[in-house]
């Protein structure tokens, strides 16, 4: 498990439990044992179940943890996700953190699946973005991939994406592209006008980002590109119009809503005494 994921699990537990779960310590005997089951309460795409072992291990471990379903699986209402057995206090103090991860990440995966399903049959792929919850990017991007979309760059370090403010700061489209060639990384450039589009193509740009166009405008601009560069569309893309954008001939559509606006799904934890 990646160090960032281990760290975020630890921080989440510390945030919730602090110096101790005073409710469980007050009313649950220290030697009380219990079992618990995670259940889907609605259709969903699962993500985050792989975190459960690390969550319980961080609080001293449990006697048994059985995972019935894997990240990326499509679940129906009532499906069992995982079962755990051990000290009742441990199960109770980990309950909310485990559910928060499962509900949030499965929400991202479920919404990602909806977007991916909407473009099936086209040659266009859906990309996620960097519009993620601070500190949860690695997990949310993994969840998006579980849902069937393609991960865009992880951060500012693994690919060059020249946007409008970079173009302004660099002194123009051509200069921004030329300045970036020595980095040895993939280069994508956002163009806002037809003049910028033509300048980017004349500068041998290989990946273009066309932002805030209507599907009709995007189709016209893609005809001008004529296969000389890959094309990504972004801006205002949602479930209602993503199919129209995908049918313009674009190679990619990107949508920040997959991570910044996903609704947590309904997953429950049912505890029983042993």
Task: Indicate which residue of 16, 73, 79, 211 is catalytic.
Answer: 211
β-partners of residue 160 are 187
Neighbours of 90 (CB within 10 A): 20
Strands of the sheet with 33-40, listed across from one edge: 64-67, 80-87, 33-40, 267-273
The active-site residue, picked from 125, 130, 163, 192, is: 163
Question: What pTM was computed for the model?
Answer: 0.95
Q: What angle do CA 232, 235, 238 make, to 5 degrees?
A: 100
Distance from C-alpha of 207 to C-alpha of 200, rounded to nearest angstrom: 9
- The answer to whether the CB of 55 falls within 8 A of the CB of 67 is no
3-111+263-273: CATH architecture? Alpha-Beta Complex (3.90)
Q: Please report the pLDDT score of residue 193 as a whole number.
A: 94
Helix, strand, or coil (residue 158): coil
Active site residue 64: no
Per-residue pLDDT tens, the chain, 274 aa: give them. Answer: 899 999 999 999 999 999 999 999 999 999 999 999 999 999 999 999 999 999 999 999 999 999 999 999 999 999 999 999 999 999 999 999 999 999 999 999 999 999 999 999 999 999 999 999 999 999 999 999 999 999 999 999 999 999 999 999 999 999 999 999 989 888 999 999 999 999 999 999 999 999 999 999 999 999 999 999 999 999 999 999 999 999 999 999 999 999 999 999 999 999 999 9
- In terms of Cα–Cα distance, which of 109, 104, 103, 102 is closest to 126? 109
Query: Which residue has tokens 């997959």?
Result: 258
Q: Which fold has domain 116-260?
A: TIM Barrel (3.20.20)
Question: If we measure between CA atoms, which residue out of 151, 231, 224 comes closest to residue 188?
Answer: 231
14 is catalytic: no
* Active-site residue (options: 41, 69, 80, 131): 131
Which alpha helices (H) appear in 121-235, and where do they start and end?
A: 137-146, 164-170, 173-180, 194-202, 215-225
List the chain domain ranges. 3-111+263-273, 116-260
The pLDDT of residue 28 is: 97
DSSP 150: B
Determine which one of 21, 93, 114, 190 is catalytic: 190
pLDDT of residue 175: 96
Contact 95/46 with Cβ under 8 angstroms? no
Q: List beta partners, residue 209.
A: 190, 232
Q: CA-to-CA distance for 266 and 3, rounded, in angstroms?
A: 28
Active site residue 190: yes
Helices 3-17 + 88-118 axis angle, to 10:
130
């Amino acid at each position: 498990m990646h160090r960032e994921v281990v760290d975020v699990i630890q921080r989440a537990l510390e945030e919730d439990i602090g110096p101790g779960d005073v409710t469980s310590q007050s009313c649950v005997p220290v030697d009380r044992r219990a079992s618990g089951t995670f259940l889907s309460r609605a259709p969903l795409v699962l993500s985050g179940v792989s975190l459960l072992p690390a969550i319980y291990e961080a609080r001293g471990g449990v006697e048994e943890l059985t995972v019935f379903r894997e990240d990326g699986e499509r679940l129906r209402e009532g499906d069992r996700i995982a079962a755990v057995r051990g000290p009742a206090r441990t199960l109770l103090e980990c309950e909310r953190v485990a559910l928060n991860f499962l509900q949030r990440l499965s929400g991202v995966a479920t919404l990602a699946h909806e977007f991916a399903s909407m473009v099936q049959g086209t040659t266009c792929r859906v990309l996620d973005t960097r519009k993620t919850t601070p500190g949860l990017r690695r997990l949310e991007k993994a969840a998006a991939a579980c849902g069937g979309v393609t991960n865009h760059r992880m951060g500012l370090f693994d690919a060059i994406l020249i946007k409008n403010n970079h173009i302004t700061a660099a002194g123009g489209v051509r200069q921004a592209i030329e300045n970036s060639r020595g980095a040895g990384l993939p280069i994508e450039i956002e163009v806002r006008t037809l003049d910028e589009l033509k300048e980017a193509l004349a500068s041998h740009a290989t990946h273009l980002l066309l932002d805030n166009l209507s599907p009709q405008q995007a189709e016209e601009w893609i005809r001008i590109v004529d296969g000389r560069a890959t094309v990504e569309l972004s801006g205002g893309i949602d479930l209602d119009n993503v199919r129209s954008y995908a049918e313009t001939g674009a190679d990619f559509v990107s949508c920040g809503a997959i991570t910044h606006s996903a609704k947590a799904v309904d997953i429950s934890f049912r505890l029983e005494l042993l």
